[in-house]
Amino acid sequence: MEETQFGGLSLPRPQAGGVDAVAFGEALVAFIAADGCPLRSAAMYRRTVVGAEFNVAAGLARLGHHVQFAGRVGDDPLGQVVEEACRAHGIEGHLGRDAGSFTGVLVRDMQTSRPTIVGYARSGSAGSRLGVEDLDGCAVQDTRVLHTTGITAVLSPQSLETVRWALAAAHSTGAWVSFDPNLRWRLMHPVHTRPILASLLDNVDVLLAGGDELVWLADRQDVDEATAWALDQGPRLVVVKNGAQGARATAAKGTAHAPGVPVHSVDPVGAGDAFAAGFLSGLLNGRTVEQAMAEANGVAALVVAAPGDTEGLPDGALRDSFTGQSGTVQR
């Protein structure tokens, strides 16, 4: 397999018995308003399973990679829903059962013409109590890529300890550690959270962030200054996601850009996670950083063109046809 290189960077080669990627965090059972109404008047809901890291794992699995997802669920029916979702997506699930807590729930509406309203029932959930022991049996130290987000880091002191351990353990083996701040102001204090997330970057190889997120994390005036700051903290590659405007990747020796993919958006939620899945998939497949960003933009576009966080995730054939790598009509 050709190595993925960008300014002297290369992704670890696959190892016998290893996995392509490990993702860990909280998986939530989501109830999405199915009638286009705001939450206060919605009467019908569609049930699915979501979560920043779960979405990335689902995207990578759909694209043909061997992926493990680690989390913690309640010993309840919704925990079974999460387990079934892992199997349905082709994810190797490592889900600890927590008899003393419950599986977290998310409720939201779905509209592109107004802000999406999201409600949570996750305080004290099983997922927020994720511990290092929940990663037992996962290939944290035998994977090519490990991915998590700032959401898991702030759910509880216990989950932060787990993030610190996993990032350091994977990084020490030469795996690429991928981290997305994934800012959620309902969970994160705008001042106190910044040093917590910044302290994780010394064990991160790929930082994936929106421009506003990166500027906030770096406490700088613009994206260029924030990117330079981030590279000084440890990441070898900083990827700025900018939705329909495309994406930019910067390493110590270069910068690359990829244009966005025009698409009619049905549901904007899940685009960032889809981009992460498409980008990491590209690197795992030996693509250049430019090619990986182009694929990531295509995967994200397909997701926002369908309702739900994961329903629009493509397989490799659809990704290739959508990004122009194969014919536009599959007969």
**pLDDT tens digits, one per residue of 227-243:** 999 999 999 999 999 88
pLDDT of residue 331: 39
Give the torsion sign (CA, 268, 108, 188, 130): negative
Say if residue 1's pLDDT is above 90: no
> What sign does the dihedral 10-324-299-88 (CA atoms) show?
negative
In Å, how far are 55, 75, 133, 148, 188 from 97, measured between CA atoms?
20, 5, 12, 20, 26
Q: For residue 40, give every residue at least 6 positions away whose Cβ sits within 8 Å of its Cβ, in sequence order, or none.
A: none
- Mean pLDDT for all residues in the chain: 90
φ, ψ for residue 49, nearest 5 deg:
-120, 130
Going by C-alpha positions, the residue among 23, 25, 127, 4 that lies closest to residue 67 is 23
Residue 67, pLDDT score = 98
Q: What is the pLDDT averaged over residues 259-272?
A: 84
- Which of 66-80, 121-135, 261-275 bottoms out in mean pLDDT, i.e. has the lowest? 261-275
Residue 74 has pLDDT above 70, yes or no: yes
Taking only the tens place, the pLDDT of each residue in 195-231 is 999 999 999 999 999 999 999 999 999 999 999 999 9
Q: In this predicted structure, what is the pLDDT of residue 8? A: 61
Residue 109: strand, helix, or coil: coil
The rounded distance, in Å, linking the Cα atoms of 168 and 33 is 40
Cβ distance 27 to 101 under 8 Å?
no
Total residue count of the chain as it appears in this document? 331
Check pLDDT > 50 for residue 3: no
Task: Give residue 163's pLDDT band: very low, low, confident or very high (50, 70, 90).
Answer: very high
> Domain extents for the chain?
19-26+52-101+130-313
pLDDT band at 6 (very low <50, low <70, confident <90, very high): low
Confidence class of residue 90 from pLDDT cuts 50, 70 and 90?
very high
Residue 273 among the catalytic residues: yes
Average confidence (pLDDT) over 308-323: 84
Per-residue burial over 237-255, b if 16 or more Cβ lie within 10 Å, else e, is bbbbbbbeebbbbbbeeee
**Separation CA 110–CA 320 (nearest Å):** 28
For residue 106, the model assigns a pLDDT of: 93
Contact of 200 with 163, CB cutoff 8 Å: yes
Cα separation, 166 vs 264, whole angstroms: 38
Tens digit of pLDDT for each residue in 171-197?
999 999 999 999 988 788 888 999 999
Closest CA to 23 of 106, 96, 117, 91: 91
Strand-pairing partners, residue 251, are 254
- Catalytic pick from 98, 273, 315, 320? 273
Residue 2 pLDDT:
37
Q: What percent of the chain stands above pLDDT 90?
A: 69
| Res 5 pLDDT > 60 | no
CB–CB of 49/43 below 8 Å?
no
* 165-188 residues labelled b (16+ CB within 10 A) or e (exposed): ebbebbbebebbbbbbbbbeeebb
Reported pTM: 0.93
Which residue spans within 186-295 are E strands per DSSP?
A: 206-210, 237-241, 247-251, 254-258
| Backbone Cα Rg of the chain | 18
- Band of residue 97 on the pLDDT scale cut at 50, 70, 90: very high
User: What's the angle, vertex CA 141, arms to CA 139 and CA 143, rounded to 5?
Assistant: 60
CA 266/CA 305 separation, integer angstroms: 5
- pLDDT tier for residue 330 given thresholds of 50, 70 and 90: very low
Q: How far is it, in rounded angstroms, from Cα 201 to Cα 179?
A: 8
Q: Is the pLDDT of residue 328 over 70?
A: no
pLDDT at 39: 83
User: How far is C-alpha 161 from the chain's CA centre?
Assistant: 19
Q: Is the pLDDT of residue 325 over 70?
A: no
The residue-averaged pLDDT of 83-105 equals 96
Fold for domain 19-26+52-101+130-313? UDP-N-acetylmuramoyl-L-alanine:D-glutamate ligase (3.40.1190)
